[in-house]
Amino acid sequence: MTLAADWTPYRRADRELIGWIRPVGDLWVPVDLLGRDAGAAQEWLAAEAVLEAKGIGWLADVWMLDRPGADPLRVKLVEVTPDRVVVQTDDFGAIDVPVTRYELSWPAPPSLRLRRPADA
């Protein structure tokens, strides 16, 4: 999927892109950097507030990549653009640990999710 022409980029005060706002009828849906809806259809200012509250810090959280027939992989986001999402296996900050990168579609597939308390 490519970025729709009617999505409006939304930037914080320092001009950092934090998402988009897309129209749905007479309302607006906030969309995060992974291309996922960040809230329900609402008034424009409320959609802005959702994106402001979400920010971009969540991108640094621990993520999991679910794989069919295998345990989920603990990954970190390496690149997020409207062209692709790139994740790599978590190296836990070590410089000598080999990592594997995975290129995913954008919007990010549901198989890429935040870590849950039950995850290893």
pLDDT tens digit string along 52-101? 999 999 999 999 999 999 999 999 999 999 999 999 998 887 888 899 99
Residue 43: the pLDDT is: 98
Higher per-residue pLDDT: 105 or 3? 105
Mean pLDDT across the stretch 10-21?
96
Instruction: Note the pLDDT tens digit of each residue in 26-62.
Output: 999 999 999 999 999 999 999 999 999 999 999 999 9
Task: Write the DSSP string, the chain.
Answer: ----TTPEEEE-TT--EEEEEEEETTEEEEE-TTS-B-S-SB-HHHHHHHHHHHTTGGGGS-EEEEETTEEEEEEEEEEEETTEEEEEE--TT-SSS---EEEE-SSPPTTEEEPPTT--
Residue 101: the pLDDT is: 96
Q: What is the pTM of this model?
A: 0.90
Mean pLDDT across the stretch 4-10?
96
At residue 1 the predicted structure's pLDDT band, cuts being 50, 70 and 90, is low
Residue 97: the pLDDT is: 86
